[in-house]
C-alpha cells in the first residue's frame, strides 16, 4: 500500500485526481464553518480568499490563543449551503459523516469531501495552530477560525467524479437490512 497523498493549500486541480478512499495528509490553512457561519457568509460575503480554500466543519474549543479540541461536526447539516462556496472556488470540505447528493453533484469536476475521524479532537488539535478568526461575535463554536494545519490525516469520502464511499456503505447496509422486512 502506498502512503498518504500530501496536499497543501491553496488547492488546485490536483484534487481532481483524488479518488474516494485515498488517504490524504493536508497542510496549510483551513477555515472552520458550521451552520451560523455559512448563513453569515451568504449574507455578508466570504471573509477570506475562497480560491483553492478548504472549509472545516468544526466547532472547536479555543483557549489561551490555542486550538484545544477540534474534532469534526456532522457535515450533513450543511448539505444545502455549500453551493455558493464551491462556485467561488472552494476546493474541499472536511467533516464527518459525509454529505448529500446536492454537494456530491456540486463537487463534480471541482473539488472533494474529506472525512476526518469523529471524536478525534485531541489528535486534530495536535496537528493545528491558531492563526486568526472572523465573525467572532457568532460565539466560539460558530465563528470562522483560521487554523494552520500540519499533515492532518484524512480520507477522501467523495471525489470529483461522483464516487462516494459513504453512499456505498449506506447501500450495503440497506441491502442487509432489507432481509428483516
Looking at the annotation, which residues are catalytic?
A: 38
Residue nearer to other proteins on the CB measure, 12 or 21: 21
User: Binding string, 93-132, against other proteins, x = CB under 8 A?
Assistant: ---xxx----------------xxxxxxxxx-xx------
Interface with other proteins (CB under 8 A), residue from 5, 16, 39, 61: 61
Positive or negative CA dihedral for 170, 105, 30, 47?
negative
C-alpha cell at 87: 462556485
Give residue 2's Cα distance to chain centre: 23
Residue nearer to other proteins on the CB measure, 50 or 59: 59
Question: Residue 155 interacts with other proteins (CB under 8 A)?
Answer: yes
Nearest partner of 72 among 115, 30, 108, 129, judged by Cα? 115
Give the shortest CB-130-to-other proteins separation in angstroms.
Answer: 15
Give the shortest CB-153-to-other proteins separation in angstroms.
Answer: 6
Residues 6+ apart with CB under 8 A from 97: 74, 75, 76, 115, 118, 166
Separation between Cα atoms, residue 34 and residue 146, nearest integer Å? 13
* 33 DSSP assignment: -
Question: Residue 180 interacts with other proteins (CB under 8 A)?
Answer: yes
The piece of 66-74, 85-93, 106-114, 130-138 that touches other proteins (CB under 8 A) is 66-74
Question: Residue 70 interacts with other proteins (CB under 8 A)?
Answer: yes
Amino acid at each position: 500500500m502506498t502512503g498518504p497523498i500530501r496536499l497543501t493549500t491553496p488547492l488546485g486541480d490536483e484534487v481532481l485526481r483524488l479518488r474516494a478512499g485515498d488517504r490524504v495528509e493536508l497542510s496549510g490553512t483551513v477555515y472552520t464553518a458550521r451552520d451560523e457561519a455559512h448563513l453569515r457568509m451568504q449574507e455578508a460575503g466570504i471573509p477570506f480568499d475562497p480560491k483553492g480554500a478548504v472549509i472545516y466543519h468544526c466547532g472547536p474549543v479555543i483557549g489561551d490563543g490555542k486550538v484545544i479540541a477540534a474534532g469534526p461536526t456532522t457535515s450533513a447539516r450543511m448539505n444545502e449551503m455549500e453551493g455558493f462556496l464551491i462556485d467561488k472556488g472552494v476546493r474541499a470540505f472536511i467533516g464527518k459523516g459525509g454529505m448529500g447528493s446536492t454537494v456530491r453533484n456540486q463537487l463534480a469536476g471541482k473539488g472533494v469531501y474529506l472525512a476526518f475521524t469523529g471524536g478525534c479532537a485531541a489528535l486534530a488539535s495536535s496537528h493545528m495552530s491558531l492563526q486568526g478568526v472572523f465573525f467572532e461575535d457568532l460565539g466560539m463554536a460558530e465563528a470562522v477560525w483560521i487554523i494552520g494545519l500540519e499533515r492532518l490525516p484524512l480520507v477522501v469520502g467523495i471525489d470529483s467524479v461522483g464516487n462516494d464511499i459513504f453512499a456505498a456503505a449506506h447501500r450495503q447496509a440497506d441491502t442487509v437490512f432489507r432481509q428483516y422486512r
